[in-house]
């Protein structure tokens, strides 16, 4: 996947069979793949879904290692107590 800057849509160079992604607010990831029948200049649709409560949020200092495994520390975000 190639990172794109969604704040500069005029600079995007979308091509057939391309795979792209961008992030927003350090909490959203948008990734999409362009089909082989895409023609430059034509429109295409991106469909998404989300859930924002509750979820697991990666802690800022989360990298741990135990029993030979790499672990990531997380915390519950949203959804009440």
Residue-level pLDDT at 50: 65
CA dist list (Å): 8 to 5, 14, 38, 76: 6, 13, 21, 34
* Rounded Cα–Cα distance for residues 5 and 21 (Å): 9
Position 77 pLDDT exceeds 80: no
The pLDDT value given to residue 52: 64
Give me the chain's average pLDDT, please: 82
Question: Which structure tokens are listed for 39?
Answer: 């023609």
Give whole-number Cα distances, 69 to 64, 65, 72, 74, in Å. Answer: 8, 6, 10, 16
Query: Which tens digit of pLDDT belongs to each residue from 12-68?
Result: 788 899 999 988 887 788 888 998 998 888 877 777 766 666 778 888 888 888 888
């Amino acid at each position: 996947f190639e990172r794109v800057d969604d704040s500069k849509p005029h600079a995007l160079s979308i091509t057939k069979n391309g795979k792209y992604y961008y992030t927003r607010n350090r909490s959203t990831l948008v990734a999409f793949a362009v089909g082989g029948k895409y023609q430059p200049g034509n429109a295409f649709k991106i469909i998404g879904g989300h859930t924002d409560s509750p979820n697991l949020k990666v802690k800022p200092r989360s990298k741990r290692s135990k029993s030979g495994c790499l672990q990531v520390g997380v915390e519950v975000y949203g959804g009440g107590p």
